Amino acid sequence: MRRPTKRLTLERLAFGPAAFSLILCATAVTASAETAARPEDVFRKVSTAEASVVRALGRRDSNALAKTVGELGQLIDAALKRREQGQEATACDMAAHSLAFAAVSAAEGLSNQGEGRRVLFQDAISAAADFRQDVRACEKLIGRNTGSHTSVEKALRAL
């Protein structure tokens, strides 16, 4: 059976807006990746992640820690891509890395017992100290007043 040609024309026309919206989405993703390279944006995301990590540690919620690590992983991947292109990793990128390491170690520590738990929490506390130094350097880089950023360490010690 043969289809009417009028309907075929309408189907082709419907593809146009879909293709246009796909192009706009691809452009928005590219622009978003470029703006995420700015230290100010990375700092903002790391500060949000820091608060999320502290809340998750207070609740002993390893799922929330894993979710936060996933968000930080995107920042870390972007930093690695920039580094492969010959650009330098900023202190803000390093803060994201050390916070993610602290969160992963804490999440693993919550699920372990005994000596393994103690070792993982020591690693997490060490990473939290590195995070504090990296985030202070990041604040200096973007021209902000340096804060204490000891909340992650305090939350880890409370566990």
Asked if pLDDT for residue 112 goes beyond 60, the answer is yes
24 and 57 in a single domain? The answer is: no
Number of domains into which the chain is organized: 2
**pLDDT average, residue stretch 36-54:** 90
| 38: phi then psi, degrees, rounded to nearest 5 | -70, 135
The residue assigned the tokens 């024309």 is 9
- Which tokens hold the place of 5? 């040609």
- Confidence tier at 78 by pLDDT (50, 70, 90): very high
**In terms of residue numbers, what domain contains 75?**
38-158
52 and 121 in a single domain? The answer is: yes
Asked if pLDDT for residue 135 goes beyond 50, the answer is yes
User: Hey, what amino acid is at 57?
Assistant: L
24 and 58 in a single domain? The answer is: no
In angstroms, the first-to-last Cα distance of the chain is 72
| Beta strands in the chain, from DSSP E residues, in sequence order | none
> Mean pLDDT in the chain?
82
18 and 83 in a single domain? The answer is: no
Other C-beta atoms lying within 10 Å of the C-beta of residue 72: 26
Asked if pLDDT for residue 30 goes beyond 70, the answer is no
11 and 89 in a single domain? The answer is: no
79 and 9 in a single domain? The answer is: no
- Confidence tier at 7 by pLDDT (50, 70, 90): low
42 and 120 in a single domain? The answer is: yes
pTM of the model: 0.75
